[in-house]
């Protein structure tokens, strides 16, 4: 009985965590938190980077690899030795005392003067919010500068109160005004320097095909690699294209000379359901218009009256504040200890138990990360992996919706089990440019497969040694994607039905749509 009681007490202690105690180096310092809060185009990130560049040592933590790369280049341009660390690459300057990295690669073991944590409103993100929580709580810097929008202000105050640390709030105002348009603008009348917003890759490419008859068009959407997004943004910035078609991938990370921003829809699919856009989403996207130094004002509108009415209402609505609790991901140590207490190495079960039973001091809750659990189920079906390997692999950048990436990942996992060296091999042959949207999609997925290989080469360099070969291949595939997006029209992924396919069951021809004047026209155009 005593042994059972001791086991229960140990489990109860394990399931209670004071998050700040996991970061002893940060707790040894008298940290100061500074929140640079303001809308898009207010100069808050620029001001934060100036503080970082003036420091003897420090780090910049980015929400995107694209932003880590851009600020790495900014520091280099200012002749500051700097290293770059993302999930896919390390560019180490032995002389550097500054690092730019993606937030998931934050280093909690190095004492620094200044750390800039960008876009802190991301702490509410279902899949990645834990990384911002860890960074805010655990970075061992004398000064921690947070940048973000006003809807994160109460959240940051809550975390600062829990930490017992000083918080200074510095408010920034937008440098030039945004104006809502009174009337919709049809596609035929859109002016240069306009960005059109939609919320799916297929809609972006359909609009590109349609607009390319009259305009030079750049595109931005989430499935494009950071390098291709940069090139598309450069084309728009340099005037090589006059129209930009984008998803909400535009909302973060790119400075673009957009004068007019038009929503083509007021709904999006959020992974669960199709729903109307919220004030936070509309305001974040709208803020990309009217870039300071390029245009005196930014104009926000839509391509239809229905969409314009909803966008106007959301634009003038208050931002919804981010509220606790904030998600915290399990540490490898917690996973190992739970495994021992539960008597199982089944990772999905351990993750589920963690999410349902772990309790934290302060405004935090155990994370239930859907993508991680989905990947862990794939891994757990394999025999021969240690629990540590399973947990590491469950965090790999895997899109299970892509057959190419899913099959590549499972092949890589089998190779890890067999301790077999994996050479990078391309899955596609590149010829000229993509002719169809499907060919372009295959190239985009190949870049993601390369990213997965590079992520594994970072974790397991002995088994995945072709780092340079994969980087070279990524450059070639990115160039192929860039060239393909310059083509005026890509054929749809599904070809149009042939004349034979267009017949009704029974062999009768489908009627063509009615034309002006009424009636239907037969084979030779005579009215019936």
pLDDT tens sequence across 31-84? 999 999 999 889 999 999 999 999 999 999 999 999 999 999 999 999 999 999
Output the CA–CA distances (angstroms, integers) from residue 252 to 45, 148, 381, 386, in the order listed: 12, 11, 37, 38
Q: Which two tokens stand for residue 312?
A: 């106007």
Identical fold, 20-171 and 178-315: yes
State whether residue 251 is helix, strand or coil.
Answer: helix
130 pLDDT above the threshold of 80: yes
To the question of domain 396-512 being in CATH 1.20.58.1080, the answer is yes
498 pLDDT above the threshold of 90: no
Fold of 20-171: Rossmann fold (3.40.50)
Q: Which two tokens stand for residue 316?
A: 């003038």
235 pLDDT above the threshold of 60: yes
Q: Residue ranges of the domains in the chain?
A: 20-171, 178-315, 331-391, 396-512
CATH class of the domain whose range is 178-315: alpha beta
Q: What is the pLDDT of residues 291-302, one digit of tens each?
A: 766 667 899 999
**Closest C-alpha to 124, from 144, 102, 153, 98:** 153
Residue 365: alpha-carbon gap to chain centroid:
22
Ranges assigned E (strand) in 5-70: 16-17, 32-37, 58-62
* Alpha-carbon gap, residue 33 to 144, rounded angstroms: 5
Poorest-pLDDT segment among 128-137, 299-308, 397-406, 492-501: 492-501
Helices (H), 293-385: 305-315, 332-342, 347-357, 370-380
Question: How much is the pLDDT for 493?
Answer: 62
> Before 147, cis peptide (omega within 30)?
no
Q: Which two tokens stand for residue 117?
A: 């944590």
499 pLDDT above the threshold of 60: no
Question: How much is the pLDDT for 5?
Answer: 58
Question: How much is the pLDDT for 513?
Answer: 39
Output the CA–CA distances (angstroms, integers) from residue 7 to 11, 354, 418, in the order listed: 6, 17, 36
State whether residue 197 is helix, strand or coil.
Answer: strand
Share of the chain above pLDDT 90, in %: 78
Rg (CA), the chain: 26
| Residue indicated by tokens 């998050």 | 19
């Amino acid at each position: 009985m005593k042994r059972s009681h001791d086991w229960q007490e140990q489990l109860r202690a394990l399931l209670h965590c004071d998050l700040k105690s996991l970061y002893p180096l940060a707790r040894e310092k008298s940290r100061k938190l500074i929140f640079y809060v303001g809308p898009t185009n207010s100069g808050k990130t620029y001001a934060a980077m100036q503080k970082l560049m003036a420091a003897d040592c420090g780090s910049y933590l980015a929400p995107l690899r694209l932003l880590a790369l851009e600020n790495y280049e900014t520091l280099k341009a200012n002749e500051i030795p700097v290293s770059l660390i993302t999930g896919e690459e390390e560019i180490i300057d032995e002389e550097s005392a500054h690092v730019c990295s993606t937030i998931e690669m934050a280093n909690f073991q190095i004492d620094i003067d200044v750390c800039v944590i960008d876009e802190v409103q991301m702490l509410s993100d279902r899949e990645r919010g834990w990384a911002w929580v860890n960074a805010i709580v655990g970075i061992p810097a004398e000064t921690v500068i947070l940048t973000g929008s006003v809807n994160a202000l109460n959240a940051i105050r809550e975390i600062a109160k829990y930490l017992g640390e000083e918080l200074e709030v510095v408010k920034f105002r937008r440098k030039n005004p945004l104006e809502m348009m009174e009337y919709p603008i049809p596609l035929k009348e859109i002016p240069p320097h306009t960005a059109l917003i939609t919320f799916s890759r297929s809609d972006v490419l359909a609009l590109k095909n349609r607009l390319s008859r009259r305009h030079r068009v750049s595109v931005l959407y989430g499935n494009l690699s950071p390098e291709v997004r940069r090139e598309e943004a450069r084309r728009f910035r340099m005037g090589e294209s006059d129209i930009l078609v984008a998803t909400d991938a535009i909302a973060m990370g790119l400075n673009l000379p957009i004068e007019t921003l038009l929503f083509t829809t007021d709904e999006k699919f959020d992974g669960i359901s199709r729903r109307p856009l919220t004030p936070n989403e509309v305001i974040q996207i709208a803020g990309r218009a009217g870039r300071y130094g390029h245009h005196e004002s930014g104009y926000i509108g839509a391509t239809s009256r229905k969409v314009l009415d909803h966008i106007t209402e959301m634009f003038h609505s208050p931002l919804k504040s981010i509220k606790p609790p904030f998600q915290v991901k399990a540490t490898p140590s917690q996973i190992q200890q739970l495994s021992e207490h539960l008597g199982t190495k089944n990772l999905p079960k351990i993750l589920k138990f963690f999410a349902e039973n772990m309790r934290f001091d302060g405004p935090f809750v155990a994370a239930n990360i859907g993508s991680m659990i989905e990947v862990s189920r794939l891994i757990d079906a394999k025999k021969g992996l240690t629990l540590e390997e399973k947990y590491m692999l469950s965090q790999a950048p895997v899109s299970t919706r892509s057959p190419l990436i899913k099959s590549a990942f499972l092949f890589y996992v089998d190779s890890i089990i067999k301790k077999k060296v994996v050479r990078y091999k391309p899955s596609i042959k590149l010829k000229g440019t993509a002719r169809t949207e499907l060919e372009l999609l295959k190239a985009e997925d190949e870049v993601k497969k390369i990213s997965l290989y590079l992520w594994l080469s970072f974790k397991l360099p002995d088994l995945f040694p072709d780092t340079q070969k994969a980087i070279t291949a990524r450059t070639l595939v990115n160039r192929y994607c860039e060239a393909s997006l310059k083509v005026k029209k890509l054929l749809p992924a599904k070809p149009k039905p042939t004349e034979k396919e267009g017949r009704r069951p029974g062999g009768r021809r489908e009627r063509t749509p009615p034309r002006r004047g009424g009636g239907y026209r037969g084979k030779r155009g005579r009215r019936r």
